[in-house]
């Protein structure tokens, strides 16, 4: 190949590529130029609108090559995670929509079957591609069909146990499918563990060198075009050695692929302008940063405290912690199940492990929580970041099942802070707690309060709620983020109702709950989680079993997969905005006038001369 000609000598090739079939008509020189255009297009768009960037920059050539070589969509490409699929999206008819990526009603930030026939298997969580590809290959053979199946997995994805389970199962099967290993030595942070070491070793393995020499010799002896074949082989070898580089083509992204893994949208005038007095107040910290800082304090207090992450050092706020306490910090790779059982092992042996795992990724480790931690009454602390709606990452990443899936586990403590200060207190409480696992779930958001870091966090009695405001008629029982939403709704509308911070979803403060039921006409529960199995369901069951007839209403997330979009927008769509809460309280106040429970409470007041006290 000659050096590609400068950009201005070509009319845009990208303009001519409306799908992979157009790409397959291009010359090798045009393909190289196309890669340049793709890279520019990706960079310009994503640095403006935000999204995953470094991984897609790294797979430009690979994506072009795959669509060139394979007859997509007849042949099936299965991308692991899907965060590196932006070039694939551009090449498969979604170029014009790239600027809508991750926004409400726009393109998904991951791959999604409903979005395109080229997205053969949806993803968002890592390490699934090999199992899915093997399944597709078997299905193809059983149905007597004929197409290629190709899984593309990163070296990060290869640290997940699921990938090895697939290899173990598929290896001896002799089914025909292809695995492309995209080894860029990076997960989100530099990849960790034995897998990256093994891959590096493999590259410099002398046996590989011998095989290469033999192939070279055989090609040289070929009766047809030996020189051409050798030249092709040396290019293939070259590309094998440097397969891909995260952030490729932009120096700043190549030098700091962690920073460019995902970028925020460039600020627009509308976004910089403060919208409300709340936003004008002094800047508060994100929950993930409060977690990181609190962990540093807790480890200083107790040298038995350690932090575990499953390849999410940055996302869980543990970067400074890992530098401050390198011996207390464990990145286990993309291996949530292992992280949990590893923590259980430490807990058995007297250490106080804190497993910091996004709510959505902890779903992977359910049995590990049940079988390895809860059943053995082990004090493993789970800090679940991204609890509730995460926003732009969408349905693969929303953390909305956790309250349900955790509180159904016997003995589990499940807590959600309403503020940064309470988050610190809950972490302290969890680390002093014994006899069961303890989960703290918090949102991808800023805490509403300013924290006094010099004050030592006071532990909170496990299972106690906080009465924030005493009013009449309606008892509002709110969990986590919904406490602040309810507080705002009640303050703005000047509603004289009771507000309780239900910081423990399990165990519940049943004494306070009974008192509230006794003294209010109506109960309203608020949670950023699913209804079935959620907090409201627990309260409702409690009331039903005891024969209470108060009016009951629960606001929760609908029983459906919720799309991507800003958190604010999604909360509004799901009926959990401040306005929705205010409306629900108004409705209950109206209903309360006529409820039989209201008459019962009024009669009780008449008899006792006061409301029942706790």
Q: Which residues are catalytic?
A: 246, 336, 364
3-state secondary structure of 349: coil
Of 160, 122, 153, the residue nearest 395 (C-alpha): 122
* Sequence-distant (≥ 6) Cβ neighbours of residue 305 within 8 angstroms: 295, 298, 299, 328, 351, 352, 354, 431
Q: At its nearest, how many Å lie between ligand TPP and the CB of residue 69?
A: 20
**Minimum CB distance to ligand TPP smaller for 390 or for 406:** 390
> Candidates 152-160, 342-350, 487-495, 576-584 — which segment interacts with ligand TPP by CB under 6 A?
152-160
Count of residues in contact with ligand TPP, rule CB under 6 A: 25
Q: At its nearest, how many Å lie between ligand TPP and the CB of residue 167?
A: 15
The yes or no reply on residue 247 touching ligand TPP (CB under 6 A) is no
Q: At its nearest, how many Å lie between ligand TPP and the CB of residue 364?
A: 6
Q: At its nearest, how many Å lie between ligand TPP and the CB of residue 262?
A: 9
**Minimum CB distance to ligand TPP smaller for 243 or for 413:** 243
Q: Which DSSP category does 575 fall into?
A: T
**What is the per-residue binding string for ligand TPP in 291-320, x denoting contact by CB under 6 A?**
-------------------xxx--------
CB atoms within 10 A of CB 587: 15
Q: At its nearest, how many Å lie between ligand TPP and the CB of residue 411?
A: 26
**Minimum CB distance to ligand TPP smaller for 160 or for 420:** 160
Cross-strand bridge partners of residue 383: 356, 440
State how far the Cα of 8 lies from the Cα of 10, in Å rounded to an integer: 5
State how far the Cα of 234 lies from the Cα of 125, in Å rounded to an integer: 35
Token pair listed for 128 = 């699934």
**Minimum CB distance to ligand TPP smaller for 334 or for 522:** 334
Q: At its nearest, how many Å lie between ligand TPP and the CB of residue 290?
A: 21
> Candidates 183-191, 198-206, 274-282, 432-440 — which segment interacts with ligand TPP by CB under 6 A?
183-191
266: exposed, middle or buried (Cβ count in 10 Å: 0-12, 13-18, 19+): exposed
The yes or no reply on residue 577 touching ligand TPP (CB under 6 A) is no
**What is the per-residue binding string for ligand TPP in 401-440, x denoting contact by CB under 6 A?**
----------------------------------------
State how far the Cα of 492 lies from the Cα of 477, in Å rounded to an integer: 18
3-state secondary structure of 41: helix
Binder of ligand TPP out of 102, 140, 246, 248 (CB under 6 A): 246
**Minimum CB distance to ligand TPP smaller for 90 or for 482:** 90
Binder of ligand TPP out of 23, 49, 57, 81 (CB under 6 A): 81
- Concatenate the DSSP letters of all residues of 308-341 into one string: EESS-TTTTT-HHHHHH-GGGEEE--S-HHHHHH
The yes or no reply on residue 186 touching ligand TPP (CB under 6 A) is yes
State how far the Cα of 293 lies from the Cα of 321, in Å rounded to an integer: 7
The yes or no reply on residue 108 touching ligand TPP (CB under 6 A) is no
The yes or no reply on residue 87 touching ligand TPP (CB under 6 A) is no
State how far the Cα of 344 lies from the Cα of 378, in Å rounded to an integer: 7
> Candidates 185-193, 204-212, 449-457, 527-535 — which segment interacts with ligand TPP by CB under 6 A?
185-193
The yes or no reply on residue 156 touching ligand TPP (CB under 6 A) is yes
Contact 172, 345 (CB under 8 A): no
Q: At its nearest, how many Å lie between ligand TPP and the CB of residue 60?
A: 12
Binder of ligand TPP out of 188, 415, 416, 500 (CB under 6 A): 188
Of 78, 90, 2, the residue nearest 39 (C-alpha): 90
**Minimum CB distance to ligand TPP smaller for 154 or for 531:** 154
Binder of ligand TPP out of 45, 63, 72, 84 (CB under 6 A): 84
- The interface with ligand TPP within residues 330-359 (CB under 6 A) comprises 334, 336
Q: At its nearest, how many Å lie between ligand TPP and the CB of residue 468?
A: 36
State how far the Cα of 66 lies from the Cα of 75, in Å rounded to an integer: 10
**Minimum CB distance to ligand TPP smaller for 184 or for 436:** 184
The yes or no reply on residue 63 touching ligand TPP (CB under 6 A) is no
Binder of ligand TPP out of 89, 95, 328, 364 (CB under 6 A): 364
- Concatenate the DSSP letters of all residues of 12-23 into one string: -SGGG-SSHHHH
How far is the CA of 308 from the CAs of 108, 196, 316, 546, in angstroms?
Answer: 30, 19, 10, 42
Q: At its nearest, how many Å lie between ligand TPP and the CB of residue 240?
A: 17
The yes or no reply on residue 157 touching ligand TPP (CB under 6 A) is yes
Helices (H) then strands (E): counts for the chain: 26, 17
- The interface with ligand TPP within residues 495-524 (CB under 6 A) comprises none
* Sequence-distant (≥ 6) Cβ neighbours of residue 552 within 8 angstroms: 522, 523, 524, 525, 539, 540, 543
Q: Which DSSP category does 105 fall into?
A: T
Q: At its nearest, how many Å lie between ligand TPP and the CB of residue 149?
A: 19
Tell me, rounded to whole angstroms, the distance of Cα 52 from its chain centroid: 13
* Sequence-distant (≥ 6) Cβ neighbours of residue 373 within 8 angstroms: 340, 343, 344, 347, 380, 437
**Torsion sign across C-alpha atoms 96, 97, 100, 102:** negative
State how far the Cα of 317 lies from the Cα of 315, in Å rounded to an integer: 6
Of 219, 245, 260, 209, the residue nearest 43 (C-alpha): 260
Q: At its nearest, how many Å lie between ligand TPP and the CB of residue 315?
A: 7
How far is the CA of 447 from the CAs of 288, 444, 453, in angstroms?
Answer: 9, 9, 14
**Minimum CB distance to ligand TPP smaller for 56 or for 577:** 56
**Minimum CB distance to ligand TPP smaller for 55 or for 66:** 55
- The interface with ligand TPP within residues 109-128 (CB under 6 A) comprises 125-126
Report the interface residues with ligand TPP, using CB under 6 A: 55, 58, 80-81, 83-84, 125-126, 154-157, 182, 184, 186-188, 246, 310-312, 334, 336, 361, 364
């Amino acid at each position: 190949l000659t050096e590609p000609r400068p950009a201005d000598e070509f009319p845009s090739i990208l303009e001519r590529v409306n799908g992979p079939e157009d790409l397959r008509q291009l010359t090798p020189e045009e393909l190289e130029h196309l890669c340049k255009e793709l890279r520019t297009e990706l960079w310009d768009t994503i640095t403006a609108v935000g999204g995953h960037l470094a991984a897609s920059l790294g797979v430009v050539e690979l994506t072009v090559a795959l669509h060139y070589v394979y007859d997509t969509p007849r042949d099936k490409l299965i991308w692991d995670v899907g965060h590196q699929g932006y070039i694939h999206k551009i090449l498969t008819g979604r170029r014009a929509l790239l600027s809508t990526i991750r926004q409400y009603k726009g393109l998904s930030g991951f791959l999604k079957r409903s979005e395109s026939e080229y997205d053969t298997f949806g993803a968002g969580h890592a390490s699934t591609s090999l199992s899915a590809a093997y399944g597709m290959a078997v299905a193809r053979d059983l149905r007597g069909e004929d197409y290629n199946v190709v899984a593309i997995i990163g070296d990060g994805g290869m640290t997940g146990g699921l990938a090895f389970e697939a290899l173990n199962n598929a290896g001896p099967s002799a089914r025909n499918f292809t695995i492309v290993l995209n080894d860029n030595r990076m997960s989100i942070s530099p990849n960790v563990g034995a897998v990256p070491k093994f891959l590096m070793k493999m590259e410099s393995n002398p046996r590989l060198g011998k095989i290469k020499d033999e192939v070279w010799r055989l090609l040289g002896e070929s009766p047809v075009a030996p020189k051409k074949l050798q030249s092709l082989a040396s290019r293939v070898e070259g590309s094998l050695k440097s397969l891909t580089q995260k952030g490729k083509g932009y120096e700043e992204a190549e030098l700091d692929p962690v920073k460019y893994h995902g970028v925020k949208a460039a600020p627009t005038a509308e976004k910089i302008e403060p919208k409300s007095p709340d936003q004008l107040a002094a800047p508060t910290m994100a929950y993930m940063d409060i977690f990181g800082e609190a962990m540093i304090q807790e480890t200083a207090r107790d040298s038995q405290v350690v932090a575990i992450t499953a390849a999410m050092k940055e996302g869980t706020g543990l970067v400074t912690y890992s530098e401050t306490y390198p011996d207390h910090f464990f990145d286990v790779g993309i291996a949530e199940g292992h992280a949990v059982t590893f923590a259980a092992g430490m807990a058995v042996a007297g250490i106080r492990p804190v497993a910091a795992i996004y709510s959505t990724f902890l779903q992977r480790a359910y049995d590990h929580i049940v079988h390895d931690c809860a059943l053995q009454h082990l004090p493993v602390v789970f800090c679940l970041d991204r609890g509730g709606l995460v926003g732009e990452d969408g349905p693969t990443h929303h953390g909305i099942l956790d309250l349900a899936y955790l509180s159904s586990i016997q003995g589990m403590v499940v807590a959600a802070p309403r503020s940064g200060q309470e988050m610190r207190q809950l972490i302290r409480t969890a680390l002093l707690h014994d006899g069961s696992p303890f989960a703290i779930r918090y949102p991808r958001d800023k805490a509403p309060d300013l924290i006094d870091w010099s004050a030592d966090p006071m532990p909170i009695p496990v299972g106690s709620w906080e009465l924030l405001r005493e009013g009449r008629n309606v008892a509002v029982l709110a969990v986590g983020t919904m406490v602040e939403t309810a507080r705002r709704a009640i303050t703005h509308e000047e509603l004289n109702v009771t507000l309780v911070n239900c910081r423990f979803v399990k165990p519940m403060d049943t004494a306070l709950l009974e008192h509230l039921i006794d003294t209010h006409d109506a109960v309203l529960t608020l949670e950023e989680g699913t209804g079935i199995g959620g907090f409201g369901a627990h309260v409702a069951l409690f009331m039903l079993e005891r024969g209470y007839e108060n009016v009951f209403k629960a606001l929760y997330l609908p029983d459906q997969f919720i799309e991507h979009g800003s958190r604010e927008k999604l909360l509004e769509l799901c009926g959990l905005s401040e306005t929705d809460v205010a409306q629900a309280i108004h409705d209950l106040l109206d209903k309360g006038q006529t409820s039989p429970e209201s008459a019962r409470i009024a009669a009780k007041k008449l008899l006792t001369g006061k409301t029942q006290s706790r």
